[in-house]
Each structure stands twice: as structure tokens, then as C-alpha cells.
A and B are shown apart, each in its own frame.
Chain A
């Protein structure tokens, strides 16, 4: 039994370990370790294509996580005050949204946006003043952010909902009993109490967007995110530079996930 468990872990972690290891290799080969060096990290970080892709990924991740944080929290609060069947219905929709495979979200967003653009662009061209070039709506930052927000929002809603549900209802009652207006209660009691949930949700959304390849592949248009860059350069062969990029993504994602987990846990303990 223990051997079996060991085998599973080895199977899971050896590839990741190899990527990490070879990212520090001094040689050119991605299959033979030739001494420790940080040169591939330097190479990756000075490659303008990598930096460009990184900045796209970062921008999309920050904006989509931010939007998901705000709207997800609002949706969670609204759902909380809903009663009965309606609430069950919307709850179910949200769990489904999280479970929908990325490829489906990607295709669905692509088809939906292409349809909308195909309908809007001629309309814009028709109403645009004579002699000026009408704007062309197309895939890019906007569609990336929209698709990622769609998914992340469901994540945030689920996490924040759990926090709100764990909150003692008498706390908000006590606040209004102590003369706080409904908004005052939200600002001084509800928000601080659910804030760890929001923060954790935003961090998770960020890592999700930052790592995502499948959805981005469909909706990125002419933009290149970091995972898309990695994918396209792998076709020209795996280099230690790719390993270095992969390791950096891994470390960023992992640390954010750990921070999110810590926030969620710490928020839970000091309740007597």
C-alpha cells in the first residue's frame, strides 16, 4: 500500500522535479544536466517575446481577477439574501459553471463573441461618419478578460458564499441594533468578515487566469499569453529556457495558492 502511494507521488512529481532541475542546467540540452547555472532564467527574462507574453498574461490575470472579485462578491451577497428555490437554482448554475471544461468555455466564448462581432461590426461601419475608419471589434485582451472573468467569478462566488454562510447572522443584527445603517453594517461588519474570502478568491482567480492555456488558446486572437508562448515555442523543441519559464510560473502559482489557503484558514481560527 505504501509502495503504491509512493509510486503515485513519484509519477506526479518527477516530471515537475525534472523541469525545475533542468531549468538550472548550464548546458543547452534539456535531457542532460551539465552543472548549475541561472543563465536560462536570465535568457528568459531578457527575451522580448517572453516579456511581452508575460505582460499580457499578467494584465489579463489582474484585471479578470479584480472584476471577478468585485462582481463575484456582489453576486454572493445577493444570493445569500435569496430564498428557497431561486437560490438553489442559481447555486446549481454556479457549481456547474466551475465544472464546465475549459475547452467548452473556450469554444462557447469564441462562438458567442464571433457571432456578436459579426453582427456589430457591419452595424458600426454603417453608422460611422463618412471618411473615417470604423473600429473593428475582434478577439484580444477584451475577450481574454471576459472569458477568464466568467470562470473566475464562479470561483469567487463559491468561496465568498462559504464565508458568508459561516458568519453568525446575529452579528449583522447586533450591528443594526447598535445604530449602524445597512450600508454601515456592510462596511464595518460584513465586509471585514468576508474579506479573507474575497482575497483568497481573487488570488485563486489570478493563478487560474495566469496558467490558463485552453480558454486563452481559443479567445486570445492575436495576443500571446505566457502559456500560449510556451506552447508555440515547444513545437520548436524543449529548451532549458522553457523549463525556466515553466518553473517561474509554477513558483508564482504555488505561492499564491498557498497564500490563499493560509488566508482562508487564518480567517477561520479566531472564532470562539
Chain B
């Protein structure tokens, strides 16, 4: 199992110049499980002190990437670097990284204190008992569980166990903290709380966090950078904002946040603006992302919250704005905003989000009513039409494993 197929003449760790400011790197890291390519030529630098998320649907290789950092998997090709050293063959117990496991993997035969002290006690020379006690107590306070040391693991609630798992990793002051879907087993409200807490903790401690999640909301709200994956490859790396506003392809726009897509052929482009002719003959224009040939099939993405709904036809706005007459099909109240499903003859059905304020001002629309939908040209993005074969998992459709 644990074998690296090395290309002849591959450089050893001396030959690598780490990217400045990086704490870990993947260099063309590929992991094969028999025929399955779990990670496909991953190139990525993780920077000191950042909060990076691997995001993607089930089976896209997020866990595999994380396990290569932890040392549980050895890349079949390529390299993994930690702190400038090639660590492909370094076993997990020698790596200065710690992991929070998905189901916590707390040791059931040890109490909370001994679980947290476990890593410290493996150090050689072994730290003194009082030093261990001080560190454990301090970490228990950090995760807001002071005085819980004597408890048994099974006496702790799910959220508390999660904090113990976090403390068990943090007490070692790792260079890199790896978290594999740490909040998947928590209910929605608790998950939200833990997300905020984790983020605060990361800022406070300055430790580099690498999080694996398939919950796009989680990734958006917590990360400095998101690494979106698909089929073992990295599709896009960037800040949550850039992934949301500048998706590299339809897949990204679809996975990160909600979006409407209109397929069509690129009929013309100039200065970063593309015109797209939909199947029904409508002309849409928007920013182009990527290099397209005229005539190519593309997708135009419009975020539901960037559409406006109005009762009367909006006046002439900026050049290239789109205005279409629609019929309201359905209305769903979602708390902070209202989601309308609207239909237009030329474009089929699509979603529009209207904030509560706007809804209150213009008066809510009823199903069956007619209205005008409009959006500025900047809201429309012309994207590569790499339609998703597998339906992407979204945060609120979280699927519990086991």
C-alpha cells in the first residue's frame, strides 16, 4: 500500500525551493486507488496563517488531499511539502500537523484530559506532568470546556466532543490544523455556532487551518481561500468573494451559491463583453470569463439576488441591461428574502430573490401575476458550459453519512 512510485532522477528535498510564505505545498500530487484517480495533479500552496477550505461534492478527492497532508496517504506521483521539506515518505507521527477527524475519533477508554494530553505525552523528552496539566487546562479553556477534564468521552454531547477533538489537536500547537468535515455531525444551529467559534479561534491563534467540507455556505463563511475541486482536480482557487463573483465556469457558479443558467451560443464579443443568443433567439450580454470562440455553446449565469422584480417596465437603465416580462409561478418565503420562481416565454423558468425590504416597498407579488425582471449587464456572466453531470451538494441539503 504505502509505496511511492518515483520517477527516476526525481529531486530529493534539497532540490525544492518552497514558495515564500507557504507552510505546505502540493506539487503535481496525484493519488491513485487502483483505477480510481482520487487526486489528479494537485498544485497548491497553503500559506502561513490562512484558513483554506477544500470544497467539492462527495468523492471529489477532498479527504484524499487532506490525508496526503496528514501522512495517511502517500502520493502516487508528485510531492507534498511541509515547511519546505518533501514529506512524501514521512509517517504521520513525525509530521508537525494535527487533524480533527470527521467523527472525532476520540479515544473511548481515556477521559477528556487524557485524550487531550495524548499528543503531549508522546513527545520525547516527555514533558513533566505539571506542564502537561497546565497546557491541557489552558486548551480546555480555549475551547470553552474548563473543568471538564475528568469527564468520560461518552458523557459529552456531540458539540462538546467536537471541542475536545479540537483541543486534542490544538494543544500540540501544530503548524497545520487539518479538519475533515468537523461539523458534519452537528445540527444546523450548533454547526453555525461552531463555525463562528472556529473562525475566531483561528484568527486568535494564528494557526493555519485546512478545512474539508462539501457545505458551500460553510466554506464561504469561514475561509480566507476556497479550493474548489471536481473529480480529483482543482477547478478554482480564490477568496470566497472571487469564487462567488468571478466563477471560472458554470460548475463553480452552480456549486458556490445559487444561480440561474441560460445556455446559448456566443454570437459576438468585445472588450470582455459577450453576446449570447439563447435557443429561443433571445439576446443576452454579460461579462465573459475565459476564452471562447464565437459560435461556442456557453452558459450565462445570473445570481437570483441580482435580478430585480418590478410591477411596471423599468426605465432605460445602463447600456446592456436586460428587461423581460415574466409571470410569477411560485413564491417561497425564506426569512431574510423571498424566492420567486418566474417564467418568461423566451427563457423558461428562473429564480429571483427579493429582499424583505424591497418586497415590502413594492408589495409582494402573487403567483400568476405579471411582472418585469431586469438585471444590469455586470450581473450576467458568460461562462464555460461545463454542466455538472453529478448534482452538486449544497449546504442545506447536507447528507448525513451513516
Residues of A within 8 A of B (CB): 168, 170-171, 173-182, 184, 188-189, 192-193, 270-272
- CA of A182 to CA of B108 in the docked complex: distance in angstroms? 19
Give the interface centre of B105, B119, B161, B172 by most chain A CB atoms within 10 Å: B105
**Chain B positions within 8 Å of A271 at CB level:** 108, 154
A175 partner residues in chain B, CB cutoff 8 A: 107, 118
Chain B contact residues, CB within 8 Å of chain A? 70-72, 91-94, 97-99, 101-103, 105-109, 118-119, 122-123, 152-154, 161, 168-169, 172
B118 contacts across to A, CB distance below 8 A: 175, 178, 180, 188
Query: Other CB < 8 Å A-B pairs besides A168-B103, A180-B93, 15 of them?
Result: A168-B105, A174-B105, A175-B107, A176-B91, A176-B92, A177-B70, A177-B97, A178-B98, A178-B172, A179-B94, A180-B118, A181-B122, A193-B108, A272-B108, A272-B161
Residues in A with CB closer than 8 Å to B169 are 178
B109 with A179: CB separation less than 8 A: no
Given known pairs A170-B101, A173-B92, the reply for A180 and B122 (CB within 8 Å) is yes
Q: Which of A174, A184, A272 contacts B107 (CB 8 A)?
A: A174
Chain A residue at minimum C-beta to C-beta distance from B114? A188
- The answer to whether B107 touches A179 (Cβ under 8 A) is no
Q: Which residue of B lies closest to A83 (CB)?
A: B1
21 contacts between A and B (CB under 8 A): A168-B103, A170-B105, A171-B105, A173-B105, A174-B105, A174-B106, A174-B107, A176-B71, A177-B70, A177-B71, A177-B98, A178-B93, A178-B119, A178-B122, A178-B168, A178-B169, A179-B172, A181-B93, A272-B108, A272-B153, A272-B161
Looking at chain A's contact residues, the main secondary structure is: helix
Contact partner of B99 (CB less than 8 A), chosen from A168, A174, A189, is A174
Give A178's nearest chain B residue, CB to CB: B119
Inter-chain CA distance A32–B34, complex, in Å, is 75
Which residue of chain B is the closest to A172 with respect to CB atoms? B105
In the complex, residue of chain B having the shortest beta-carbon distance to the beta carbon of A184: B122
Complex Cα distance A177/B92, Å?
Answer: 5
Give the residue among A170, A178, A181, A182 with the most B Cβ atoms within 10 A: A178
Closest approach, in angstroms, between the C-beta of A263 and any C-beta of chain B? Answer: 14
CB distance from B104 to the nearest CB of A (A): 8
A174 CA / B102 CA spacing, docked (Å): 11
The answer to whether B109 and A192 have CB atoms under 8 Å apart is yes
Identify the closest chain B residue to A185 (Cβ): B93
**How far, in angstroms, from A179 to B92 measured CA to CA in the complex?**
7
In the bound complex, CA of A199 to CA of B118 (Å): 25
The 5 closest A-B pairs by CB, nearest first: A178-B119, A170-B105, A179-B122, A174-B105, A176-B92
Q: Are B72 and A173 in contact (CB under 8 A)?
A: yes
**Chain A hits for B92, CB < 8 A:** 173, 176-177
Closest residue of chain A to B99 (Cβ to Cβ) is A177
Task: Specify which chain B residues have a CB less than 8 angstroms from the CB of A181 in the assembled complex.
Answer: 93, 122
Q: Nearest CB to that of B124 among chain A residues?
A: A179
> Given B93, B152, B161, which contacts A177 in the complex, CB threshold below 8 Å?
B93
Q: A172: shortest Cβ distance to chain B, in Å?
A: 9
* Across-interface contacts of A170 in B (CB, < 8 A): 101-103, 105
Residues of A within 8 A of B70 (CB): 177
> Which residue on chain B has the smallest CB distance to residue A174?
B105
* Closest beta carbon of chain B to A177's beta carbon, Å: 5
B78 to chain A, nearest CB (A): 22
Kindly provide the distance from the CB of A265 to the nearest chain B CB, expressed in whole angstroms: 15
Q: Please tell me if the beta carbons of A171 and B93 are within 8 angstroms of each other in the complex.
A: no
Contacts of B93 in A (CB 8 A): 176-182, 184
> Which residues of the other chain, A, contact B122 by a CB distance below 8 angstroms?
178-181, 184
CB distance from B170 to the nearest CB of A (A): 12
Whether B105 and A179, one on each chain, are in contact in the complex, defined by CB atoms closer than 8 angstroms, is no
**Nearest neighbor of B117 in chain A, beta-carbon distance:** A178
How far is it, in angstroms, between the C-alpha of A201 and the C-alpha of B16 when the chains are bound?
53
The smallest beta-carbon distance between A59 and chain B, in angstroms, is: 33
Determine the chain A residues whose CB is within 8 A of the CB of B97 once the complex forms.
Answer: 177
* Chain B positions within 8 Å of A179 at CB level: 93-94, 119, 122-123, 172
Nearest CB of B to A224, in Å: 43
User: How far does the alpha carbon of A178 sit from the alpha carbon of B117 in the complex, in Å?
Assistant: 10
| Most chain A C-beta atoms within 10 Å of own C-beta, residue among B93, B106, B154 | B93
Give CA–CA (A170, B122) in the complex, Å: 18
Cα A192 to Cα B98 with chains together (Å): 23
Chain B minimum-CB-distance residue to A81: B1
Closest CB in chain B relative to A242 CB, distance in Å: 45
Q: Report the nearest A residue to B109, measured CB to CB.
A: A192
CA distance A220 to B102 in the complex (A): 55
How far is A66 from B109 in the complex, measured between Cα atoms in Å? 24
Determine the chain A residues whose CB is within 8 A of the CB of B105 once the complex forms: 168, 170-171, 173-174
- Which residues on the B side are within 8 Å of A192 (C-beta)? 109
Give the residue name and chain of the B residue nearest to A269 (CB).
B154
Name the CB-closest residue of A to B103: A170
| Bound CA span A182–B71, Å | 13
Can you name the residue of chain A whose Cβ is closest to the Cβ of B116? A178
- When distances are taken between beta carbons in the complex, the residues of chain A under 8 Å from B101 are 170, 173-174
In the bound complex, residues from chain B placing their C-beta under 8 Å from that of A272 are 108, 153-154, 161
Can you name the residue of chain B whose Cβ is closest to the Cβ of A193? Answer: B109
Question: What's the least CB distance linking B5 to chain A, in Å?
Answer: 19
Nearest chain B CB to A195's CB is how many angstroms away?
9
